[in-house]
Amino acid sequence: MLRVKDVSKVYKTGMFGGSEFTAVSGVSFDVEPGEVVSLIGESGSGKTTVGKMILRLTGVTSGSITFGGVEVSALRKSQLRGYYAQVQGVFQDPFSSYNPVFKADRVFELIRGNYLRGMSRSEWNGKVRRSLEDVGLEPADVLGKYPHQLSGGQLQRLLIARALLLDIQFLVADEIISMLDASTRIDVLNLLGDLKARGLGILFVTHDLSLGNYISDKTIILRRGRIVEMGATEKVFGDPRHAYTRMLLSSVPQFGHKWEKLEDLDLSESDAASADMRPGVLDEGAAGDLLEVDRDHFVATG
């Protein structure tokens, strides 16, 4: 359904665009209907950029993104409307996603105004109610309220309901629960699982490995714009082959299991130091081509 092939994003920086910054380099993956794919990476990995490129919120420097066979980056402005009826996004900060001057359900009105103008009011109200029920919200609790009167969890679910109004086939969920409280996170995550069962394809962008492990069928580990490991979730988490993946997994704090010392993990010095330890310069030789080490399990060389 969604095919990302060899996509790169290069930003021009500095005076008069003199220098370059590569945010994403040579990323390729597919998402099928009813599949949740986790795109896992730390800050600076380019994961949000990939999501934005799929949503056409930023351009692709090279490579191709096709949805249902149609090249997304070549769509003209007039065709975007049709694209957005099939592909939508939900972002990280629920309070920033709503215009503070208006009521929260205005996000539904925007959809109606642009896509479903011909629909009668009563039909529309019914559709809205069904969408809200699908995401586990009581219409009376959330309609007619301002964003600050609702909780982060309700706001995120409202955004998912909005996306469902269009009968979308694919959702980009960019860190959608990282700003929610722990007790509500799992409910929104479970919601994604339910949607997947209905045939929705989901790209779940996150930095949190345990969330990715919980919800996704396939996992992609991104480092500094390149894929270092990718494959079925149980394979990537159960048998991590790339040193970076192993380092990430060893850093996740878990209950009943204290952190291991790095020496026990047989990692080289440069892998142990994550991207965050040294600022600035993108390491050009960060990852090589992807090798298939097992069925549905790919690891980058180098």
Partner 1 sequence: MSLTVDNLRVYYRTLRGDVRALDGVTFRVEDGEIMGIAGESGCGKTTLGKSLIRLDGRMRYIEGKVQIDGVDLPIADTGAMDAFRYRSVSIIPQQAMSALNPIRKIGRMIEELLDSRGVSYDETKPELSRRLRLVGLDDGVLDRFPIELSGGMKQRVVLVLSTLLDPSLLIADELTSALDVSTQKAVAEMLVEFRDRSFVKSTLVITHDLSILYQIADTILVMYAGKLVEKGPSSELTAEPRHPYTQLLLGSLPEVGVRFNERRLTGIAGRPPSLLDPPTGCRFRDRCPLAFAKCSEEPPFVEVEPGRFAACWKASD
Partner 2 sequence: MAVEPRVQTESTGTAEVTIVAPEVAPPHRKRNEILYFAFRNRKLVIGLSFVLFFLLLAIVGPWLTDAGPFEFGFPTGQPPSSAHWLGTTAPGQDVYAQFVYGLRSSFIVGALAGIIAAAIAMVVGFAGGYFGGVFDELLSMLTNVVLVIPTLAVLIIVAAYLKVGSLTSEAILIGVTSWPWAARAIRAQTFSLGARDFVSLARLSGQRSWAVIAKEIAPNMSSYLFLAFILLFGGAILAAATLDFLGLGPSQVMSLGLMMNTAISSAALQLGYWWWFIPPGIGITAIVGGLYVMNVGLDEVFNPKLRET
Please report, as ranges, the residues that interact with partner 2 according to CB under 8 A: 42-43, 55, 57, 80-81, 84, 88-89, 91-93, 95-102, 107, 110-111, 114-115, 146, 148-149, 152, 159, 175, 178-181, 207-208
279 binds partner 1 (CB under 8 A): yes
Rg (CA), the chain: 20
Using the minimum distance from each CB to partner 2, give the nearer residue, 207 or 246.
Answer: 207
Residue 85 CA neighbour count, 13 Å, CB half: 8
Using the minimum distance from each CB to partner 1, give the nearer residue, 7 or 50.
Answer: 50
How are beta strands 36-41 and 218-223 bridged, if at all? parallel
207 binds partner 1 (CB under 8 A): yes
Q: How far is the CB of 293 from partner 2 (least distance, A)?
A: 28
Using the minimum distance from each CB to partner 2, give the nearer residue, 93 or 271.
Answer: 93
- DSSP codes of every residue in 62-114: EEEEEETTEEGGG--HHHHHHHHTTEEEE-S-TTTSS-TTS-TTHHHHHHHHH
66 binds partner 1 (CB under 8 A): no
- Helices 152-165 and 106-115 pack at an angle, to 10 degrees, of 10
Using the minimum distance from each CB to partner 2, give the nearer residue, 95 or 259.
Answer: 95
- Helices 152-165 and 121-134 pack at an angle, to 10 degrees, of 130
Residue 243 bridge partners (DSSP): none
181 binds partner 1 (CB under 8 A): yes
Using the minimum distance from each CB to partner 2, give the nearer residue, 220 or 299.
Answer: 220
* Count of CB atoms situated within 10 Å of the CB of 51: 21
256 binds partner 1 (CB under 8 A): yes
Which helix (H) or strand (E) segment holds residue 19: the answer is strand 19-31
Residues near partner 1 (CB under 8 A): 42-43, 151, 181-187, 189-190, 193, 207-211, 213-215, 233-234, 237, 247-249, 251-256, 258-259, 274-280
